Structure 1
Amino acid sequence: MLLSEVMSQQTPVARVAPIWEEWVRRWPDPASFAAAGADEVLRAWGTLGYPRRALRLLECARTIVAEHDGEVPADVDALLALPGIGDYTARAIACFHFGQNVPVVDTNVRRVHERLIEGNFLQPPAAKAELKKVAALLPHDGTGPTVSVAVMELGATVCTARSPECEVCPVRAHCAWQAAGRPAPSAEDAAAAKKRVQKFVGTDRQVRGKIMAVLRSASEPVGMGAIDAVWPDASQRSRALFSLIEDGLAEQNEDGRFHLPG
């Protein structure tokens, strides 16, 4: 589950599924994955995006082998101590895999909480306080993980971002936003929410992805000419390339050619 949660960060499940299946066949446990090289991991990552996640997963697997006898820990604090594992991922693993009654707060849960409890259509930027607020809603009769799944699915399928299907919502009668007359967000809040949506086309992230595609497909180090061909803006191309090197996703050899890390 740790693998699927990290792969699904900011990436649609439809894109993740085939790559996840290949990884599980290739590396069925933390020990086998920990023995992989960074270059083969980055190639296997393909076009999922944010490839630093792949290197963090590799570091995470090696930590699990070294410090937890090759078994993913069940404790939230132990999970948070692993490389690349944040609040959401740690709690999702503890809750959905190990059955612990801990709050799991993603965008869907935040949206449901904001409408159901706070009475607002749009949720504010994420904050640590939301963990305590969501935790207060969880029952302590052993059904907490089931409730967490239900709230997440409610946000994903019914209480959606733009067009909530309130007529079929099972908690409509308890919804503070409904009770308040379904107030629309203020122009200021709507503008802030729109601004938070990340664009991709034309960004350094797009250029980084194009350079990574060249490096992944190459069987040997490539010269600058191959990288120059992926993007017309020389300054942006150079910035993207050297940011990849700084992030440990690419290396330059003594001949001035570029390749994935070994």
Structure 2
Amino acid sequence: MRRDDVSPWGSVVFEVMSQQTPIPRVQPIWERWMMLWPTPADLAAADTSAVLVEWKTLGYPSRALRLKECAAAISARPGGQVPADIEELMSLPGIGPYTASAVASFQFHARVPVLDTNVRRVFARVLDGQEFAPRGAPTKGEIARATHFLPEDGAACAHWNVAIMEFGAITCTQRRPHCDSCPIRSACQWAHLGFPRAETRPKGQEWKGTDRQARGRVLAALRLLHEDGQAHPSMTRAEALTAATLPGAPPDQAARVVHGLVRDGLLRHDPETLRYSLP
């Protein structure tokens, strides 16, 4: 959360969770995590299976593993506290430029821009007359330009960053921007040019029938076994696991999904019993 009463660790967890997941889905799960693991040391000491169970349906569960690694790295630091320096933040597992900037701004009032997709879109429309920002990570030019607009005071920067993120999420939206009620329409280059449409438009990621969906089903089934309180929650053999979770999936997809989950550390395979479980 981006409130003043949230700890730096709480901010790290929230920003990682919300990278690829809508905030309404994140909030209740984040609150649960903060109750279970309020400090980095708490998460570092938690069972990996419990961490994956509590990740629930946030998607991209490798983020949960990286957060646990991040917690261990922070706990190993002198004092066991989240660092304030951006470079030190980015040295932690799972922390990239966006998360580091967000934590540095919202927690430590560093004078840095926080460039999520919404913010980049606002700048692209208002200043460049383009419907969308360039694909990929923010360019050095984007970062420099966004920095130019920041207030000098660090606390004011944090409020500015939150405000422009909310403006992009609520008013200057991707699909149906509220241009008629936009308070800065008169200064918007995109509006002045007649709202030209981008030649290539952002596409939502496919879901149905994909490996991502299949991976989610396998993990959901094993999470359910944990939540039901079974003493040894596991499933035997790859064939039984995929038959129970991926009915009708092509054999090559089922094998690929199970192998990928084991490779990514999200699934454990016991070669003696041939059983699969959460790590």
Q: Same fold (TM over 0.5)?
A: yes
Alignment of 1:2-21 (within 5 A): 2-21=12-31
Equivalent position to 2:90, from 60, 63, 80: 80
Equivalent position to 2:139, from 125, 128, 132: 128
Q: Relative to structure 2, which stretch is displaced further, 225-234 or 250-259?
A: 225-234
| Structure 2 residue 177 is the aligned partner of structure 1 residue 145 | no
Q: Which runs of 5+ in 1 are unaligned?
A: none
| Structure 2 residue 184 is the aligned partner of structure 1 residue 171 | yes
Equivalent position to 2:52, from 22, 36, 42: 42
Paired with 1:10 and 1:72, the residues of 2 have a C-alpha distance of 22
Paired with 1:147 and 1:226, the residues of 2 have a C-alpha distance of 49
How far is 1:69 from its partner? Answer: 2.1
Q: Partner residue of 2:222?
A: 215
Alignment of 1:47-126 (within 5 A): 47-126=57-136
Paired with 1:137 and 1:29, the residues of 2 have a C-alpha distance of 34
Paired with 1:183 and 1:29, the residues of 2 have a C-alpha distance of 47
Paired with 1:5 and 1:149, the residues of 2 have a C-alpha distance of 13
Amino acid of the structure 1 residue aligned with 2:176: S
Q: Partner residue of 2:255?
A: 238
Equivalent position to 2:243, from 196, 206, 228: 228
Q: Partner residue of 1:249?
A: 266
Q: Relative to structure 2, which stretch is displaced further, 214-223 or 43-52?
A: 214-223
Q: Relative to structure 2, which stretch is displaced further, 2-11 or 171-180?
A: 171-180
Query: CA-to-partner distance for each residue in 1:34-65, whole Å, 9 max, x for gaps?
Result: 11111111111122111111110000000001
Partner-residue secondary structure (3-state), 1:229:
helix
Contact 2:190–2:196 (Cα < 8 Å) also in 1:
no
Paired with 1:167 and 1:183, the residues of 2 have a C-alpha distance of 12
Contact 2:172–2:178 (Cα < 8 Å) also in 1:
yes
TM-score where L is the length of structure 1: 0.92
TM-score where L is the length of structure 2: 0.87
Amino acid of the structure 2 residue aligned with 1:240: V
How far is 1:68 from its partner? Answer: 4.3
Query: CA-to-partner distance for each residue in 1:235-260, whole Å, 9 max, x for gaps?
Result: 11110111000001111102111011
| Structure 2 residue 218 is the aligned partner of structure 1 residue 206 | no
Paired with 1:248 and 1:56, the residues of 2 have a C-alpha distance of 11
Q: Partner residue of 1:33?
A: 43
Paired with 2:54 and 2:159, the residues of 1 have a C-alpha distance of 33
Amino acid of the structure 1 residue aligned with 2:264: D
Amino acid of the structure 1 residue aligned with 2:150: L
Amino acid of the structure 1 residue aligned with 2:90: L
Structure 1's consecutive aligned runs of 4 or more residues displaced over 6 angstroms after TM superposition are: none
Partner-residue secondary structure (3-state), 1:210:
helix
How far is 1:108 from its partner? Answer: 0.5
